[in-house]
Amino acid sequence: MNAYPLIRPRRLRMTPALRALVAESSIKKEKLIQPHFVVEGSGQTQEIATLPGICRQSTDTLVRQVEKDLALGIRNHLLFGLPESKDDHASGVCGEHSLIFRTLRELKKHFGEDVLLATDLCLCAYTDHGHCGLLSSGGEILNDETNEVLARAAVSYAEAGADLIAPSDMMDGRVLAIRNALDAAGLKNTPIMSYSVKYASAFYGPFRDAAHSAPASGDRKSHQMDIRNAREAVLEALQDAAEGADILMVKPALPYLDVIAELKHRVTQPLAAYQVSGEYASLVFAARAGAADLPAAALEALTAISRAGAEIILSYFTRQLHAERWI
């Protein structure tokens, strides 16, 4: 009788070719999205200390950056706007004079269908109080009134050339409000990539620094999800799907792999995950301290997100992954 087991899993690990042949999960570069922070002015490239390698850029500088990205094979981009002026009713979020509208027009003029442009949609960067919605006189976020503003902004962005509208505010019913507004404006083919499951996470710190979007007081726990809940994530995702969301997103990614995996079995829409600023920064700073091999750690994290079930990944590593040929 053979003294050794007939089944030896190590046989298929012996060479890189064998390992690649039987790999169960893979990171597909064409499924990655690169985030960008857009500021007013011209010739602007502002480094972000808490988000190394990522900059705030004016529209003209961003055009040159996207051209370089396209040469690397990066087609997918997510835009965040950082207006110069803010007020209590987020007046700068939409309209032909808004920063994102003008940036979309400029990018589409230069690149047309060669790039896919998604626009984050939230009021936090446009309100002087930094909250994700309009506030009542008592400081309560006005859900339905906020949805009206979001819907107008979505139409504005779609008219400017946005390929995807990505609402991140977590107001109840905002997907339906946006879908109805887009359809009424003759933009029924503009898809929605909803931040369906967005947790009130401690991993957003570098982003809030980058986008100048921290709330002036209080927190966002009345609308972003409680970190202790998973069943509620299914409720949020199914509601967005029923309201017309075309892609569903989980944010952050790595701390919520269980949620991604659960939704993979519960929804039929494409599933996205956002590897957020804190996830990115923690790996970058660990590598700078000599505590991690950055390419290996980044690829391991991205692979875990893919293995959990995310088909689309928004990541600040997108450019490095392409430029340095990590895969």
pLDDT digits (tens, 9 = 90+) for 194-243: 999 999 999 999 998 898 777 777 788 888 999 999 999 999 999 999 99
Q: Check if the beta carbon of residue 154 is closer than 8 Å to that of residue 167.
A: yes
* Residue 161 Ramachandran class (φ > 0 left, ψ -120 to 50 alpha, else beta): left
Q: What is the pTM of this model?
A: 0.94
Q: Which positions ≥6 away from 324 have C-beta within 8 Å?
A: 295
- Is the pLDDT score of 275 beyond 80? yes
Catalytic amino acids?
Answer: 198, 251
| CATH topology classification for 28-323 | TIM Barrel (3.20.20)
Tell me how far apart the alpha carbons of residues 80 and 125 are, in angstroms, rounded to a whole number. Answer: 9
Summarised one tens digit per residue, pLDDT across range 102-137 is 999 999 999 999 999 999 999 999 998 878 889 898
Res 130: pLDDT: 78
| Domain segments of the chain as ranges | 28-323
- Is the pLDDT score of 4 beyond 90? no
Res 322: pLDDT: 96
Report the DSSP pairing between strands 45-47 and 55-58: antiparallel
Summarised one tens digit per residue, pLDDT across range 40-66 is 999 999 999 999 999 999 999 999 999
Q: How confident is the model at residue 2 (pLDDT cuts 50, 70, 90)?
A: low
Res 211: pLDDT: 81
